[in-house]
Structure 1
Amino acid sequence: MKAALQNYHARMQRVLDYIDQHLDSDLDLETVSRIAAFSKFHFHRQFTATFELSVHRYVQLARMKRASNQLASRGAASVTEIAMDAGYDSPDAFARAFRRRFGQSPSSFRKSPDWAPWLAAFGPLEIARSKLMQTTYTRDDVTIREVLPTPVAILEHRGDRATLGDTIERFIRWRKGAGLSPETSPTFNIFRSERTPENPAEYSMDLCVGTGRPIDAQDDVMKAGVIPGGRCAELRVNGASHNLEPAALYLYREWLPASGEEARDFPIYCQRYLTFPPGEAAHAVVAEMFLPLK
């Protein structure tokens, strides 16, 4: 039974990888079902049952996410070119869909992205991509590296994870007001508790933005801190950042006991990419997990 489920997940993972890598292609149901080696007559229902999104909806969200990343990166592509790449017949149709989803025009988003509705809009996509994450990691995915200390501004979230969205919005408003763009100032999360502790009130996470500027001691949102340098086990999380717990559990439960290493007295943390790193495809790297080592 376990082998059959792993095979099923592997086939579905092939589909997600293919879609992410062929967003410019005609991703019709027959093509996508063939990649999974499933009957096209049943594949649509199988996909929807697995990911809680239809194939069409998944492709639509993936293309829109790439388009928003292209806009935020302020590259050479025009809004018209980005609209065509996203599968829209005209810039006007793209602009209407974009504004409906994000509350900003494409041109306004390119100048000053509002990340709160962006995060909310792609929640279903990240949930879908996270459903197969537990099957993807091996020892070859983990690299031990030295990292430098990083001064950060920290917003502490303490309490029920259900209120995390409000904390994220406060964090985004603060960094926008401070002029700390995700493109130039890295985003980190420090995980100080399990994702779903037995007592929801014990959920604890720090939202951080890298900055060397002084933080006013009277600031009622952020405080100054440092993510320490040193040896870390690094694990890249490909394709999803909605739920990083499978990656953290892999590092703790499987990699660490087999590695002979010992964890340092600092929580596991990640660096998130709200757009994407230079030189990487939009679907390729969304987060990097770091487990500090002695």
Structure 2
Amino acid sequence: MPELPNDCAYTKRFDAVLAYIEANLEGDLSVQTLSHVANFSVFHFHRQFTAFVGVPVSRYVQLMRLRRAAHRLVAQGAYTVLDAALDAGFKSPEAFCRAFGRAFGSAPSVFRKNAHWQVWNTVFAVPHFSRKVLMHVRIIELPEIKVAALEHRGPPGLVNESVSQFIAWRIGSGQSPVASSRTFGIPYGNPDTTPPHAFRFAICGEIFEDVKPNEFGVHPLVIPGGRYAVVRHAGSPDHIGETIYPIYRDWLPGSGEELRDQPLVFHYLSVYPETPQDQWQTDVYVPLR
């Protein structure tokens, strides 16, 4: 039997994930479980899923549960709205009715009397991307990099406050001068999907000596060496997702590459305020096996 092209193999792995979700709507549908089903890196699975399917995992699961509830409401006369709400994972019938209304354009009680399934097909149209983003992807072998790191914990919107602290350490210690030391960022989660209180982001500056004791909480860290795909993002880092998602959506499926279970690395090539943020350049390092 001929071997499937890489993009077909990639599609088959996601088909397995979608089939698993539909068969296990009552079960464990965590990112950890689903990434294992697909044999993808847990660090990157959420972005891969969103890029491939068009909606985040949690939204897809909710829509599938609403779809099942709609079928049961129409087919089973004794099936109540409360039953549907609990089966769909909602804490109250009111919350379920609001979500159902947004999805189907009518209340559950109205829908069960006059089901319009074509509405489902319109509402639950998984976005299809009509264009491919042209990317210049380089694959490099990166030596490990020793850095001083300050870990931000909390809402992504407050990262700049942590950046200011790191800059204060950098200036005061003189250990990682901006002019001669590279600057990196390491996102330990996707800000689009990670709860604000759980978001973590390491602000890093290259060092060539041990980090001296300090009051800022800056500590030593090593960015692992190895193979990386590198794509350059132009513009404010606030919109870096516009570059990241096409890597997973357009480049990875046909590349034949597998991702390493390790966070992305951002290498900031510009310095603020010398360079306005809308003119920044950032290299996104995607770890490969």
Greater CA radius of gyration, 1 or 2?
A: 2
Q: Which structure has more RCO (C-alpha within 8 Å, separation ≥ 6)?
A: 2
TM-score (norm 2): 0.49
TM-score (norm 1): 0.48
